[in-house]
Structures are given as C-alpha cells and as structure tokens.
Structure 1
Amino acid sequence: MAQTILHKANERGSRDHGWLKTKYSFSFSDYYDPQKIHFGALRVLNEDIIAAGMGFGTHPHDNMEIITIPLEGALAHKDSMGNASIIRHGEIQVMSAGSGITHSEFNANEDATVKLLQIWVFPDKKNVTPRYGQLEIDLAQMHNNLLQLVSPYPEDEGLWIHQHAWFFMGRFDEHVEKEYAFRKQGNGVYVFVINGSFTVNGVNLDDRDALGLWDTNKISIQTNKADSQILLMEVPMEFD
C-alpha cells in the first residue's frame, strides 16, 4: 500500500532577510525540523524571492546535484568552471558540484524581483568532475502533459544528474486526469504544486502544497483548476 506524507505550504520554514524572502520545504540553514530533513535523495526544495539587483555572493558546494528553476524573472550565474550565464523563466539549470565548485547567483534585473525554486539532490557518485547544464523548456509541450526536465541519462530528454532521479513539470487545464508510472522500483515521488489545485491519489493539494508518495509504482493526478502547474520529482528512497 502506498505510503504518503503531506507537506502543506503554510507549514514550510520561512525567513525574510529583506533582500531575500525564502520558504524551506526541508531543514536548511538555521531552519530545522527533525521531521523534514529530506525525502529520500531529495535534500532541499527552497522557494526564493530575490530583490532587484541582489543575490548570493560567491560560495562553495560539493557532492550535490543542484537544480534551479526560475518561476519569474532572470538569474545571473557565474562559477569557477568559467560559466557566466542568465537563467530565465522558461529555462532550467543543473550543476553537479562533485569534487567542488564555487558560484554566485544574482537577480539579473535592476527593477524586478526574481522568483525561483532551488532543489538539491544527493548524488549517487562522490567527487565527480563538476559539470554545468542549462536548457530552455518547451513550454508548449507542458500543456496537459508531464514534460521530462531531468533524468539520470545524458542521452535522454532534458538535463541529467548523477542520481536515478527524474523530474517532470506540466501545466494543465481543469478536469484533466493523468497517471504517472514510477521509473524505478524503490523510488518515491515528491509532488509539488507550483500553482493551482490538484488531487493526487485522493489528496487535495493547492498552491505550494506537496505530497510525498512511496511503496507504490504509480500515482493518479487530477486537476481542479484551469492553468494549474505541477512539479514531480522521483528520487531513490534509499541511497548511499
């Protein structure tokens, strides 16, 4: 029988630093909840709102797969691998921190905020050569469809990471029904509602609500509002 855990939007950790307003789905920085350390290999799901012209100065990472999805605006990225780019709404960025990188992230706009999701996944290989990827999302293919953004395979659709994990995102009309089949036995799926309303395996989810599911091999999804957007993250529940 499927196991589930419900994370309501208003139960997330919250911090307001003035230039940065952030919501934490899992324990992060000085926010700690012993019941919300991670969901399988999914370690971090932060929603950040960064003020115009502000951002994170150069800082290090290692042995983590980092996925950034702008929801509004644009983010300026620079790193120790020599990458300097702008990641906009409608794009996705992946960094494999591996043996170690440093990078900075700033709002690329001087007159508007940037809103983004930053997601960390534990890798299945340690100390790999750091790697960067960026991809424009075909927004039209997300209409009433779960579009693959991330997988374990370089030759597959979307970007890839060092983990048996798959990410999908879709935008749906009202009263659309979908079934999602797990890609790998032993994985779980963390469903995050970006906006709108869904019913997932009988559980109603609204803006920024999330539901983790495991010990099953498929889930049912129904939309309750027009223009509802959802992010599915399938990750191993057990990992080294």
Structure 2
Amino acid sequence: MEESLIPPDQEPVEICLLAGKIMLQSGAETYRVEDTMTRLATSLGLPGSQSYVTPTGIVFQSGEMQWAKLIRIVERTTDLEKVAAVNNISRQLGNGTLSPEAAYQQLVRIDTSRHAYPLPLQIVAAAIASGCFTFMFGGVGKDLLPGILCGGLGFAAFLWLHRLVRVKFFAEFTASLMIGIVAYLLVQIHLGTALDKIIIGSVMPLVPGLLITNAVRDLMAGHLVSGLSRGAEAFLTAFAIGAGIAVVFTVL
C-alpha cells in the first residue's frame, strides 16, 4: 500500500477537504457536503470543526488549529457515483472499518477517476431521452426520430463546445440554437410534424434540473448564499437555452 505524502498531523484535514471537494464538484448539495465533512472530522478525532461551503470554494478549520484552509472549486459536473463513494468512505471511517491512510488513498483514486459512462454512451442516452420526451409532450410517432436526432446532436454539440470554449452558457446557447435549426429543417422536409414538441423534447437533456433541485434544497436548509448562487446559475442556463431557441423562431 502506498504511503501518504502529507504530514500525519494534517492528514485528517486533507481527508475532510478532499472529500468535500469531490462531493461539491460532483453535484452534491451544500448542506450534504458540510454534514459529510463534519462527520469525517468527528471520526478522525477533530471535534468542534467548522466548514463553510459555497459552490466555488470550501473553507475548513479544525477545532485544534488557529488557521483555516481553503480549496477553490473551479469545475462542477454531475457524478452521483462519486458522491455515493465518498459517503461510503465516511460511513466506513465512522464505524472503524477503514483507516485514515486507506481512506485518503481511496479518495485520491475517486478524485482522479473519470466519469462512469463514456461520452458516446451519454450522447446516445440523451438522444433516446429526447425522443421519449418529445413523445411524452404530445408529439406523434413521426416526431420520435427528429427528437432523437436533434437531442443527440444538441447534446454532442454542448459537450464539444464546453470542452473547447470552457464557457458553459455559450455552449448551451449554441447547442439550443443548433437544436432549433435542425428541428426546423427536419419539419420543413416533412420528417417531423410538431416543431414545438420536437424542440421541447430535444432541449430537455440541457435543462438544469439538478441545479434547480440543489438550489431549492440549499435554501430550505438555510444556506442562502449557496441557494441563491445555484439558482442564479440555473436561471442563466435556462436563459441561454431559451435565447438560442428564440433566435431560431425570430430569424426563420
């Protein structure tokens, strides 16, 4: 087993910060991150620890130290498998079946691991979901294939642009613009009938459902800063999607 490269007196703090970082980057709610860090600190012998979590950073201070440590969160995504893995490590540390050294090494492996599902599978899943949403929102059988094509192309464009430009809102705007144009062309060549149903179904994989849910749950838990910031991010995402579709209806 590899030895930890951090000093023994700082290892509990590093474990708590790394666990919080993984959870926050993977889409966990703010109050869940703080609760997990508090439980980890208690299990590691750091009673009275304090943590302050926002969507862009984590501040943690153990009860025995006069200084606090900060970690910035630059990139956020959705990977609930990592959240579940960190929670499992927290439970194992709590019941004494896992040592701090092994816990830190497992957290490092979780942090450096890639997404559970490859990008082609994500695109296929988004395409199938778009077709199902198109049918669920009132589209006929003829609209199923256009919904699948538009949803798959739009989600693939979003992933590609987000990796290229690193500006999420621009990627969402461009992806929704592409969805609107492709849906319009497919209806014009009579491969689809209900343009509105195809567009609504195709943009569903881009809708910030997790952001909205986390914003509401953070507000209900009393985390006003995190709740409002997540809500603002969800609003801007919805605005980008709506603006892209609005441009299509305005120009075409």
TM-score bracket relative to the smaller structure: under 0.3
Q: Which has the higher contact order (CA 8 A, sep 6+)?
A: 1
Structure showing greater radius of gyration is 2
Structure with greater proportional helix content: 2
Tell me the TM-score normalized by structure 1.
0.25
